[in-house]
Structure 1
């Protein structure tokens, strides 16, 4: 006999508790009770122990003060040095 799936086990539990047929006109709250009780089991998501959302999402941002590589200030200093060198070369060539 094949092993019953999770869905089969849940269906058997619902039939055992509420019977073979549901009269939603007479007792509409039964449907909502079933959805609330079994929705998480059928969705395949893990329930978190505190009742909140399951863990996930984006982690915290790392420190930005320890960046690797040159900073904007370093680049500006080098650009200014190059500008001065070009100005001196242009002066020498212009003579």
Structure 2
């Protein structure tokens, strides 16, 4: 997250109003609920994990053992089980 100088994006009147409450400090303005992204959506990592998990399930159903999948993907057996049995 990068910081933006309020003077560059807000009207002077609003900047003066904000200065009544806070000066020289950082303020976080959250996104509207409908504009928020879920974890990993912005970077694409969420989709990468979905693809990896899908591949793991396919390999398991094609006969690969959980142990070999855990070793290949550097995951615990417990994590592999969760991936395989998740709906």
TM-score normalized with structure 2 length: 0.28
Q: With a CA cutoff of 8 Å and minimum separation of 6, indicate the structure with the bigger relative contact order.
A: 2
